[in-house]
Amino acid sequence: MINQQCYQLGAEPSVIRALFAYGLQQAAVVGPENVYDYSLGNPSIPAPAAVNASILDIVTNTDSIKVHGYTMAAGLGDARSAVAADLEARFALPVKAEELFFTCGAAPALISVIKALAVSPESEILLVAPFFPEYVPFVEQNGARAVIVPPDTAHFQIDLAQVAARITPNTQAIIINSPNNPSGVVYTEATLKALGALLEERAARYGHPIYIIADEPYRELVYGGVTVPFIPCLYKNTVVCYSYSKSLSLPGERIGYVYVPGFAQDGQALYTAIAGAARVMGHVCPPSLMQMVIGRCAGERPDLAAYDENRQLLYNSLTEMGYTCAKPDGAFYLLVKAPNGDANAFSEAARLRHNLLVVPTDGFGCPGYFRLSYCVARDMIERSLPAFRAMIDKGV
Ligand code: PLP
């Protein structure tokens, strides 16, 4: 007998993966220059030079038993100290190495936190739409119920009335992601403070903390002088799930961390439960080489010039053609309203007529829109613009 839920998850490729596979297949037929693939969020800028230099130096000059050996479950002390010092310097917050737990990226970080907070099958975790679609299986396959908060389509901030209507005595946490995938929107300090006040009020009413799980793989990807508030500075019961996948262009290296502030309510116990959850999943001790690299490169930031150029070109071109887009201040995504309201029909017609691959965001809890990942070559964007124009002119 086979677990049917896992079977279904394995059998159905995500829309994103299906479009990506189609793009590869079509490239062989019509030529790669005639396929406009905006499906995947795979970074297109190289990792900072210091990252590659560190890898070479570590592999050449460090005892290979250490480089390829197990580390402590939570990660190397030096690397955790380097990250703690970087966070402390940037956000004026006392961060200790012992409050950090290294993970294989944001996905296992999120799952460990969810598992640690899933105290009964009734435990509820709120997801604010639009959201990364994997949150749903992450929550539902790890002992809790996913409760979806509909999107604020006016500004793509957080609709607090909708959050308030969904908090119950079983609410354990709310997952938020800013800069956001798929909208590219950065939640403002005012939004986050208001959310914090609401959660505090309800936590007092129900007699237990309601945590913010801040999923932050795009924290450093922000443009035009916009700042991304560091949520533990605004709401103490915050757990941060961070990843270097996007910020240092290292998605294949699987490295990130969970930060549980010591000042969070039950912070110590939560940290210990996260360590236990990681153990249950077999997700302890992420790649030692990458931990060492982060130890040296915790202060490295990406050069965002290429993403910023793409962002401006795409946003300006599409809005000029008449498309409505969420204001893209961060990440590398643009969320566009389907001209006639049916994003699936738009995506299908764009694919078949023009080999233009865009992702409808129904699975992100936001029907009627599609996502463009602009971590692509600039000339692909330029070549794709006539297809976008033809689509809107045809009124699909
Ligand atoms: N969270 C969000 C919002 C993402 O967009 C992604 C990946 O695209 C992840 C988490 C998973 O990131 P990682 O590669 O670090 O597991």
Please give the number of the atom of ligand 1 that sits closest to the Cα of 131.
3
Atom nearest to 243 CA in ligand 1: 15
Atom 5 (ligand 1) nearest CA? 181
The CA 390 to ligand 1 mean position distance, Å, reads 33
Nearest Cα residue to atom 8 of ligand 1: 41
Atom of ligand 1 nearest to the CA of 110: 10
CA 332 – CA 179 distance, rounded (Å):
9
Mutate to test the pocket of ligand 1, among 14, 104, 246, 375 (most ligand atoms within 8 A of CB): 246
Can you tell me which residue has the tokens 């490729």? 13
CA of 396 to the centre of ligand 1 (A): 31
List, in sequence order, every residue forming a beta bridge with 240; answer none if it has no partner: 214, 259
* Distance (Å, whole) CA 213 – CA 125: 10
What span, in angstroms and rounded, lies between the C-alpha atoms of 88 and 34?
47
What atom in ligand 1 is closest to the CA of residue 331?
Answer: 5
Mutate to test the pocket of ligand 1, among 114, 181, 183 (most ligand atoms within 8 A of CB): 181
Q: What is the pLDDT of residues 176-216, one digit of tens each?
A: 999 999 999 999 999 999 999 999 999 999 999 999 999 99
289-332: pLDDT as tens digits = 999 999 999 999 999 999 999 999 999 999 999 999 999 999 99
Query: pLDDT per residue over 50-69, tens digit each?
Result: 999 999 999 999 999 999 99
Residue type, 106: A
Asked whether 75 lines ligand 1 (CB < 6 A), one says no
Q: How far apart are CA 88 and CA 69, in angstroms?
A: 29
Q: What is the DSSP string of 69-88?
A: S---TT--HHHHHHHHHHHH
Give the residue-averaged pLDDT of 134-152: 97
Residue 91 exposure: Cα atoms within 13 Å on the Cβ side = 20
256 Cβ below 6 A of ligand 1: yes
How crowded is the C-beta side of 76, counted as CA atoms within 13 Å? 21
**Ligand 1 in reach of 131 Cβ (< 6 A):** no
Q: Pairing relation of β-strands 238-243 and 145-149? A: unpaired
Radius of gyration of the chain (CA): 21
Phi/psi region, residue 102 (left: phi>0; alpha: psi -120 to 50; beta: rest), is: beta
Compute the C-alpha angle 253/45/218, nearest 5°: 70
Ligand 1: distance of its center to the CA of 389 in Å? 31
181 Cβ below 6 A of ligand 1: yes
Instruction: Tell whether ligand 1 has an atom less than 6 A from the beta carbon of residue 330.
Output: no
Q: Report the DSSP pairing between strands 211-215 and 238-243.
A: parallel
Q: Confirm or reject: Cβ of 105 under 6 Å from ligand 1.
A: yes
Q: Alpha-carbon distance 111 to 114, whole Å?
A: 5
Taking the C-alpha atoms of residue 85 and residue 295, their distance in angstroms, rounded to an integer, is: 11
pLDDT band at 250 (very low <50, low <70, confident <90, very high): very high
Write down the pLDDT at residue 265.
98
Q: Cα(241) to centroid of ligand 1, in Å?
A: 10
> 365: Cβ below 6 Å to ligand 1?
no
pLDDT confidence of 259, banded at 50, 70, 90? very high
One-letter identity of residue 208:
H
Give the pLDDT confidence of 328-355 residue by residue, as tens digits: 999 999 999 999 999 999 999 999 999 9
Here the contacts of 81-89 (C-beta below 8 Å, separation 24 or greater) are: 82/294, 82/295, 82/296, 82/298, 83/257, 83/294, 83/298, 85/298, 86/298, 86/299, 87/230, 87/259
The secondary structure of 125-192 as a DSSP string is EEEESS--TTHHHHHHTTT-EEEEEPP-TTTSS--HHHHHHH--TTEEEEEEESS-TTT-----HHHH
To test the pocket of ligand 1, the residue of 113, 132, 240 to mutate (highest count of ligand atoms within 8 Å of its CB) is 132
Q: pLDDT value at position 14?
A: 87
Answer yes or no: is pLDDT of 396 > 90: no
Judge whether residue 13 has pLDDT over 90.
no
Rounded to the nearest angstrom, the distance between the alpha carbon of 214 and the centre of ligand 1 is 12
Q: Is 249 in the pocket of ligand 1 (CB under 6 A)?
A: no
Q: What is the helix (H) or strand (E) element at residue 98, kind and residue range? A: none
> Rounded to the nearest 5°, which phi and psi values hold at 105?
95, -175
pLDDT bin (cut points 50, 70, 90) of residue 76 is very high
What is the rounded CA–CA span in Å between residue 304 and residue 139? 32
Q: Which atom of ligand 1 is nearest to the CA of 177?
A: 3
Q: Which of 87, 173, 83, 91 has its CA nearest to residue 126?
A: 173
